[in-house]
Structure 1
Amino acid sequence: MYPLLQLSLQYLHQQSKPLGSPEDPKIFKQNIDHFAFNANRFKTFNQRYFINELFITNPTQIDTALLKIGAEDTVHSAPGGNLTHFDLLGELSLKFNAPIFELEHRFYGESQPFAENDNPLKTENLKYLSARYAIADLVNFVTKIDQQYCAGLGMTKVPGKTCLKWMVIGGSYAGAVSAWIAQQHPHLFAATISSSGVVNVKYENPEFDTHTYAAAGTPCAQAYVHSMREIEKVTESGNDKYLDLFKANRKNLPDFYYFLADTSLMAIQYGRKCAKITYNKPGAKVLMQLKPSQATQNRITNTNIMIEIS
């Protein structure tokens, strides 16, 4: 550990100032529709956000803020870690005396624009689920939160500029959003981290499948293809045993097949390996089991994905 970082952490450990937990959700009143002048233009929903202030050494001298973009999942805590176990954002927070924010993506977790409806995810509502709306949410959030800090710290607001220097951070889909938002709103953000940002958007992307197929290795890939073909053959014949296994139905078979394919491909993408394969034996079961590699074993809790065909 760097000496300066170690001394700063020792100083923070000695402070008695009570801080809210990074796991405590806060509510931001977000516009449902940022663009059209209709009934939803003036309606808001409760969008959750989280703050990690554990690394702030001087609360009266804050001039930087870190914003991690919530992606397609529930947010449970602001990133950064704690004074004992911290990540890159924790180090940046300590270095720049900056709070760390994370805004939960609309339609994920508890940030539901139409939560009061009987069917909040009906098709007509999903037009509000897009990167365009995610960017508008973030712009509105940064603008309002920056105004609060500007007033609270007694700063002089300069028209067209933020009081704080904002750094926006995202990975994968959120990495693309962080790149796009910084490009579209350069006056709001002083720095951007786009980790594995999928900025080259393609409607069809077969390279993902072919790459993960190759990464799996021939025995694993062949076993998986054999398994998927068998599942499709049995299901298309009218037998529902695999649908029943996953508590699915026949309303949308393409979604069912996509779920099976994507689950295993994503497992391989994130470092899991084939551990055991048994197939092509008369009367034997076809078994494909994926386990995490040693590199990811400590951070993956759902360790096994298994497809079994009798």
Structure 2
Amino acid sequence: MMKGLLLATALLVGALCAPWNHKYHGPAPSASDDDGALWFDGQFMTHFDLTDRRTWSQRFFKNDEYHQEGGPVFLMIGGEGPESERCVSGHYYYNNFAQEMNGLILCLEHRFYGASVPTADTAMGSMELLTSEQGLEDLVHFKRWYAETFLSYEADWVVVGGSYSGALAAWARSKYPHQFAAALASSAPVRTVYAYPEYLEVIKTDIGPVCSDRVDQAIQAATTMLETVAGRKELTSLFNLCDMIGSSDMDKANFMESITDPLAGVCQYASGTDVQDACDIVLEDGMCSYCLII
């Protein structure tokens, strides 16, 4: 019973991950996403240690199709994923504002995502540089450089973002009102909560009691199996993972997050596979089916 329930879970993961993309809700970034890329070579490695003036190259994109002298600058803030020309080429609502206001559109990729990686590795020591505080300072330093280098007038800058980058937009406007005239912060989670079970409680309500009970069984089975070598081997096989699941708490948490997110994403983003389709797969063969849809 439990093995069948887990296999259903693996099926669910596979089915959902193909059509669903957390950031773009559309096609995944391709090898051509560097087309049109520009680079800011003077970004500081850290903005909070004046004795460390190392720099790195941060990727950005530009759309000046509507730009005229005196127009505002719309600065799209990259979030937790790679950026591409899509972030300036008409995919978002601020393109309409730029057209109406003769504005320039820029999109700055967030440090440690896509091609904008400041360090030679992603070891824990390096990842200490991946913070929202560093990201905010990146915006200010980039803005000053771009304005001084390319603009012949004092433009109004509008920071734009959605979800995490929406929070950055709101924080940037609040912290640096003299740098950014306005912010467009869409779905911005500005109050960070470390432990937030309410999110999955909403998902549980959305999928209904029958589907929820089956998913609970799958999660409980996986949690138990993670505690033994044999169980981790079986989960690795069921979910067709490239590497054996590790024994550390972080490895276990990463695995559990990976099998929870796809179903939650169906509820949150309402694209690709719908909730009923996902639950139909889960209910066919319990955990077995859950494997298949994620």
TM-score normalized by the length of structure 1 = 0.73
Q: Report the structure, 1 or 2, having the larger strand content.
A: 1
The 8 Å contact of residues 69 and 168 in structure 1, kept in 2 or not, is answered as yes
Change (3 A) 1:176 1:65: same
Question: Match for 1:71 among 76, 79, 82?
Answer: 79
Quote the offset at 1:121 in angstroms: 0.9
Q: Distance in 2 between matches of 1:279 and 1:198?
A: 33
Question: Match for 1:25 among 30, 37, 53?
Answer: 37
Q: Is 2:234 aligned against 1:241?
A: yes
Unmatched 5+ stretches in structure 2: 1-32
Is the partner of 1:42 in helix, strand or coil? coil
Question: Match for 1:201 among 192, 197, 209?
Answer: 192
Q: Based on CA coordinates, which of the two structures has the bigger radius of gyration?
A: 1
Q: Distance in 2 between matches of 1:261 and 1:67?
A: 33
Quote the offset at 1:189 in angstroms: 1.2
Change (3 A) 1:232 1:99: same
Quote the offset at 1:125 in angstroms: 1.0
Residue type of the alignment partner of 1:32:
M
**What's the counterpart of residue 276 of structure 2?**
274
The 8 Å contact of residues 87 and 107 in structure 2, kept in 1 or not, is answered as yes
Change (3 A) 1:54 1:223: farther
Percent of aligned pairs sharing the same letter: 24
Quote the offset at 1:87 in angstroms: 4.0
Change (3 A) 1:285 1:91: closer
**1:186-239 alpha-carbon deviations (Å, 9 max, x no partner):** 011111111111111112111111111112222322222122222233443423
Is the partner of 1:274 in helix, strand or coil? helix
TM-score normalized by the length of structure 2 = 0.77
**1:105-138 alpha-carbon deviations (Å, 9 max, x no partner):** 0000010011xx3xx1111111110100000000
Is the partner of 2:188 in helix, strand or coil? coil
Is the partner of 2:289 in helix, strand or coil? strand
Q: Is 2:110 aligned against 1:123?
A: no
Q: Is 2:181 aligned against 1:190?
A: yes
Is the partner of 2:107 in helix, strand or coil? strand
**What's the counterpart of residue 36 of structure 1?**
49
Change (3 A) 1:288 1:137: same
**1:55-77 alpha-carbon deviations (Å, 9 max, x no partner):** 33x4xx24311001000000011
Is the partner of 1:265 in helix, strand or coil? helix
**What's the counterpart of residue 66 of structure 2?**
55
Q: Distance in 2 between matches of 1:167 and 1:306?
A: 40
Q: Distance in 2 between matches of 1:129 and 1:123?
A: 10
Unmatched 5+ stretches in structure 1: 1-20, 156-162, 290-304
Q: Distance in 2 between matches of 1:136 and 1:241?
A: 45
The 8 Å contact of residues 166 and 188 in structure 2, kept in 1 or not, is answered as yes
Q: Report the structure, 1 or 2, having the larger helix content.
A: 2
Question: RMSD across aligned C-alpha pairs, in angstroms?
Answer: 2.4
Task: Give the length in aligned residue pairs.
Answer: 248
Residue type of the alignment partner of 2:236:
L
Quote the offset at 1:254 in angstroms: 2.3
**What's the counterpart of residue 94 of structure 1?**
99
Q: Is 2:153 aligned against 1:140?
A: no
Is the partner of 1:250 in helix, strand or coil? coil
